[in-house]
Amino acid sequence: MVIRDIFGTRNPRWTSTLRRLINRDRLTAISLIVLGLFLFSAVFADVIVPFDPTKITNDTFRPPSWPYLFGTDDLGRDVLSEIIYGARTSILFGIVVSLISGSIGVIIGATAGYVGGFLDDVLMRFTEFILIPPRFFLALVMAALFGTHLIYVVVILSFTYWTTMARLVRAEVLSLKERPFVEAAKALGASPSRILLFHILPNTLPVIITQAMLTVGSVILLQAALDFIGIGDADRISWGSMLHNGQHFIRDGWWMVVFPSLALALVVLSINILGDALNTALNPKTRVGF
């Protein structure tokens, strides 16, 4: 099976199964709409923001009202505009880390599972070694050593979040490489690299995509936690930095904490629900009846 067979008309499993799942599960449809709105806000933030999120005004601690629908903060900045720009930072951060760490995990997991033997042992022991230090603690140490610039945090988390992906892909590859279609490809003279790239890996895409989505939500939460304790990138607006600032004024401006918290919760919850839906729709063991 090649990649076009999975996404093309010869195999409509992805689109048709997920469509049926969304039709049956309203929560999945709502999550898709919510996530789509936040993604739209992140991409077109410059166009749709009602005010400049960095502009300091005299309207400090103004409660939610017109024209400041989500109120203003201690410096008179529009909270809604900050949330829209924060979506760009938080969601983009989660996607970039998920793509980098996922790519690392797929390479290591596929190599370990297909080659096996001594190389498999070495790669899996290395994976277990990376799992030992907690990610949050490691991020704190790295931020203290190298600084809190967003790029540094991306690099740190990208090289710690690949472990789960590697173990899942390895398990799938170990199962798939014994299937009859792989034996048939070997009999026809296909090289090991061609078998791995064009026959085995395409069949692991459901697992890869599901885990990648769950990683996005986890990374967004961790990045918000780092910003909340004050070691994030101070040059960028994020939901975590908004919570860090709002915690000092929660009695005077509750909206400074409530609205960023709701945005963070909605995005992460939507991502997790969609990840579970994809797993149900694409996993042969769980998509019976769909």
pLDDT at 8: 42
Q: Which pair of structure tokens corresponds to residue 136?
A: 């949050």
pTM score over 0.75: yes
pLDDT at 42: 87
| Sequence-distant (≥ 6) Cβ neighbours of residue 87 within 8 angstroms | 38, 41, 42, 45, 239, 263, 267
Q: List, as own/partner pairs, every contact residues 9-15 make where C-beta atoms lie below 8 angstroms and the sequence separation is at least 24, other chains included.
A: 13/282, 14/281, 14/282
Structural domains in the chain, CATH included, are 12-38+92-239+251-282 (1.10.3720.10)
pLDDT at 263: 94
Q: Which pair of structure tokens corresponds to residue 128?
A: 């277990």
Task: Going from the first residue of the chain to its last (290 residues), give the mean pLDDT of each consecutive group of 10, the final group possibly shorter.
Answer: 42 57 74 90 88 86 89 90 90 91 93 89 90 78 73 83 91 88 82 84 86 90 85 80 88 90 93 83 57
Q: How far apart are the first and last CA of the chain?
A: 22
pLDDT at 14: 53
Query: Mapping DSSP to helix (H, G, I), strand (E, B) and coil, where does residue 65 land?
Result: coil
pLDDT at 65: 87
Query: Mapping DSSP to helix (H, G, I), strand (E, B) and coil, where does residue 1 land?
Result: coil
pLDDT at 249: 87
pLDDT at 27: 84
